């Protein structure tokens, strides 16, 4: 029997015994059925998605994200697209050639920056219409995000050119992930205005937004901008990320006054992203906060009691009379103290 079983199953193993059992059941209880191919819907769908990505298409514009610092932070798909397209348009050919040389990519490059974007963009769209495939990259990160490219993309869309994203690094997202601030809702607002007056007005419009605020900022202005954040938005939690993914990567977190104290007087350099916690539930300002505003404004401006009260009441959304009475009380108390000391 052992030998016979071996002949039926091929081997005298567990698989062989299972095969014998199937033959016995089949002989005793014959069942009619058809063998359909094993369903592979999910696999087939995945294959189709991958097939779409296998080769660059003619007459297509690819928006390719590139590293924000570390050259290893580039996707395999981005490298393939950069190799296969007919032409790479870039913000700065010198910087892009460094990346291409690192990966041995020899695709032709052409510049496309703000000052020539409209005219050069029209010429490039003309090439796309004839079937040329083009990749567009910025100096670093995701194209169009506080970088040139918007007008070029609009021209391509208007000409019915397929526009395909090749996602990857973004300084905004990288900073948000390490900031330690709420990331479920955020607003990226580009660069803050250069002048303090315009910057404060800009921040005032954002005061009540209950979302994390994300800005790019110059290292030359970061401390001044932090002071304006404190003066306009109050003592909020902030994060300042510098040189992310690079050798001297740094993240400073904490109350805005504490971060100012850490950074002022230092030699700040590099690419900076500033993140500010959004507005929470609105709580009326107490006397201590009003007194702090009086101190700050008196340090910078010679304001009358009335003007000081009007300014603070507007900033803190408080009744003007309440603020005026407290300012009078503070100034009277200060004058009396000076008389006693004199």
Q: How confident is the model at residue 281 (pLDDT cuts 50, 70, 90)?
A: low
- % of the chain surpassing 70 pLDDT: 83
Task: Check residue 196 and give its pLDDT.
Answer: 95
Give the residue among 272, 273, 274, 275 at the shortest CA–CA distance from 219. Answer: 272
Residue 160 above 50 pLDDT?
Answer: yes
CA nearest to 143, candidates 173, 168, 178 = 168
- Mean pLDDT, residues 68-79 taken together: 96
Greater model confidence, 286 or 190: 190
What pLDDT does 41 receive?
44
Mean pLDDT rounded to a whole number for the chain: 85
- Contact in structure between 212 and 182 (CB atoms under 8 Å): yes
As a whole number, mean pLDDT of residues 227-256 equals 94
Starting at the earlier edge strand, list the strands of the sheet with 134-137: 109-111, 87-90, 134-137, 61-64, 163-166
Lowest mean pLDDT, pick from 31-40, 77-86, 253-262:
31-40
Residue 29: the pLDDT is 44
């Amino acid at each position: 029997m052992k030998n016979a079983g071996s002949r039926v199953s091929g081997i005298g193993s567990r698989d062989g015994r299972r095969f014998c059992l199937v033959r016995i059941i089949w002989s005793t209880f014959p069942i009619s059925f058809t063998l359909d191919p094993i369903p592979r819907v999910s696999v087939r769908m995945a294959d189709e998605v991958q097939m779409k990505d296998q080769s660059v298409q003619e007459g297509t514009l690819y928006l390719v994200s590139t590293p924000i610092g570390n050259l290893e932070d580039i996707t395999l798909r981005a490298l393939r697209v950069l190799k296969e397209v007919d032409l790479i348009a870039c913000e700065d050919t010198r910087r892009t050639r460094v990346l291409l040389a690192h990966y041995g990519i020899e695709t032709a490059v052409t510049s496309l920056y703000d000052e020539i974007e409209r005219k050069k963009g029209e010429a490039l769209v003309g090439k796309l219409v004839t079937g040329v495939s083009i990749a567009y990259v910025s100096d670093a990160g995701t194209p169009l995000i506080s970088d040139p490219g918007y007008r070029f993309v609009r021209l391509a869309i208007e000409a019915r050119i397929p526009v395909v994203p090749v996602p990857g690094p973004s300084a905004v997202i990288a900073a948000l992930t390490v900031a330690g601030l709420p990331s479920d809702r955020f607003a990226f607002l580009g660069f803050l205005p250069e002048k303090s007056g315009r910057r404060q007005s800009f921040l005032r419009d954002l005061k009540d937004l209950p979302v994390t605020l994300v800005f790019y900022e110059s290292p030359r202005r970061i401390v001044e901008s932090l002071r304006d954040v404190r003066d306009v938005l109050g003592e909020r939690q902030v994060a300042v990320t510098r040189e992310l993914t690079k050798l001297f990567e740094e993240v400073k977190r904490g109350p805005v006054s504490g971060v100012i104290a850490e950074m002022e007087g230092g030699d700040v350099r590099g690419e900076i992203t500033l993140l500010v916690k959004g507005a929470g539930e609105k709580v009326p300002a107490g006397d201590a906060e009003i007194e702090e505003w009086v101190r700050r404004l008196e340090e910078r401006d010679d304001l009358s009691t009335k003007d000081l009260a009007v300014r603070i009441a507007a900033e803190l959304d408080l009744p003007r009379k309440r603020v005026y009475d407290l300012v009078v009380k503070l100034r009277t108390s200060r004058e009396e103290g000076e008389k006693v000391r004199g």
